[in-house]
């Protein structure tokens, strides 16, 4: 018995030792760097949609090389300081954005009625959002005539060179100081002469902003960011300062604006009157009332004041946003999938297929059982803290 045990036991031990000797050794320095990297990302760039910190560790022999890019100089500096504090040697190859090859042209203006902004620098890439004519953006880098930009709501995306003009700080400052007009019709055109029977210069959508050169009869004479000139009917546009001064976002104005978009088709990534996704629709409503919401429903839900979680729709007032999705469980996080706006009378307006009105009333012909069953909660924005939002009347986005 003892011999048999011995014959089995020692080969077993040697096999275990061989197995253990083949286990890869953990590089404690690499582990420490990656831990610090994750800490910085969580602290400074928890949402990749609005903060860029694409930094990674690349090993080359015994050297720790930090590669990547970021538009967050404080985050990069903090990361390097913590490496020094932990006595970790490294080679810094991190590129800070805006990139030096832009030669100071770190600002940009959208030059077309609606620019399609994508997740990667290619027309085949996913449409993640849009920007309307005259939107000022921060330019971070250029790659094969595609520009990585950040919109006023801090959303990061790529636009092709045909949709943007890059400007130096001096030219951008000069543009902001000029008088402007804002297009207020849902959709329309600008013309080569002060006459709607003349050549169209471009299509227009609500929210487009242009430099005002002068007036001629019933038309504004305007300049595009790429120096094209055109005329826009005064019936379809307003002096920007006059529009801004008249802004008084209210339950009524939000509902009125939302209904001007009835029937606009659903478009994933759309935030204009040419097409909207669910959060692009709510964003457009509020923008045309002087308030810039975050881009996505999963971001919008973290702004405003929560007013209901129990399907007690008597608590809601027009303008409140309703969020839908999947609640958190013990093993999964909450998923916000859809958003709409309350308009009263037990109804909400939203973009799903097209912009339309649905009801929470089980006896109504437009009853929406699907969204009722996945309702999460509702938030209010009017007369509440505007943390996370931009108020155009208080923030000089388009004009100083």
**So which residues are the catalytic ones?**
278, 338, 350
CA atoms within 13 A on the CB side of 128: 20
Please check whether residue 40 is in contact with residue 53, taking contact to mean a CB–CB distance below 8 angstroms: yes
Buried b (16+ CB within 10 A) or exposed e, 37-71: beebbeebbeeebbbbbebebeeeeeebebebbbb
Reduced to 3 states (helix: H, G, I; strand: E, B; else coil), residue 165 is: strand
| CA 29 to centroid of chain Cα atoms | 36
Alpha-carbon gap, residue 328 to 193, rounded angstroms: 57
Alpha-carbon gap, residue 186 to 319, rounded angstroms: 19
Alpha-carbon gap, residue 360 to 346, rounded angstroms: 6
> What are the helix (H) ranges across the chain?
2-22, 28-44, 73-85, 169-176, 240-246, 251-259, 278-287, 297-300, 369-373
Alpha-carbon gap, residue 324 to 375, rounded angstroms: 4
Give me 94's structure tokens.
């991190």
Please check whether residue 265 is in contact with residue 258, taking contact to mean a CB–CB distance below 8 angstroms: no
Buried b (16+ CB within 10 A) or exposed e, 175-187: bbeeebbbbbbbe
């Amino acid at each position: 018995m003892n011999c048999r045990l011995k014959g089995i036991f020692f080969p077993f031990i040697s096999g275990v030792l061989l197995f253990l000797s083949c286990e890869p050794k953990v590089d404690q320095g690499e582990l420490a760097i990656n831990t610090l990297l994750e800490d910085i990302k969580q602290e400074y760039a928890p949402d990749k949609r609005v903060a860029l910190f694409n930094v990674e560790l690349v090993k080359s022999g015994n050297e720790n090389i930090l590669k990547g890019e970021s538009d967050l100089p404080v985050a990069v500096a903090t990361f390097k300081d913590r490496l020094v504090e932990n006595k970790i040697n490294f080679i810094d190859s991190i590129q800070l954005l805006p990139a030096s090859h832009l030669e100071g042209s770190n600002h940009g203006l959208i030059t077309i009625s609606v620019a399609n902004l994508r997740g990667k620098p290619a027309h085949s890439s996913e449409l993640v959002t849009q920007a309307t004519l005259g939107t000022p953006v921060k330019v971070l880098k250029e790659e094969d005539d595609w520009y990585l930009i950040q919109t006023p709501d801090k959303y990061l995306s790529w636009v092709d060179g045909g949709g943007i003009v890059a400007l130096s700080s001096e030219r951008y400052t000069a543009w902001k100081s000029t008088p402007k007009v804002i297009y207020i019709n849902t959709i329309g055109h600008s013309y080569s002469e002060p006459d709607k029977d003349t050549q169209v210069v471009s299509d227009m959508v609500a929210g487009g902003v242009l430099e005002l050169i002068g007036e001629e009869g019933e038309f504004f004479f305007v300049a595009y960011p790429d120096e094209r000139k055109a005329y826009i009917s005064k019936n379809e546009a307003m002096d920007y300062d006059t529009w801004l001064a008249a802004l008084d976002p209210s339950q009524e104005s939000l509902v009125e604006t939302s209904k001007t978009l009835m029937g606009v088709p659903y478009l994933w990534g759309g935030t204009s009157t040419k097409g909207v996704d669910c959060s692009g629709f709510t964003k457009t409503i509020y923008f045309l009332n002087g308030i810039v919401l975050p881009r996505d429903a999963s971001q919008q839900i973290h702004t405003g004041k929560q007013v209901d979680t129990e399907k007690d729709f008597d608590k809601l007032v027009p303008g409140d946003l309703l969020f839908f999705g999947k609640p958190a469980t013990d093993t999964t996080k909450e998923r916000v999938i859809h958003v709409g706006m309350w308009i009263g009378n037990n109804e909400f307006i939203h973009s799903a297929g097209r912009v339309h009105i649905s009801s929470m009333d089980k006896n109504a012909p437009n009853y929406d059982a699907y969204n009722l069953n996945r309702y999460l909660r509702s938030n209010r924005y009017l007369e509440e803290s505007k943390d996370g939002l931009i108020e155009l009347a208080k923030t000089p986005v388009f004009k100083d």
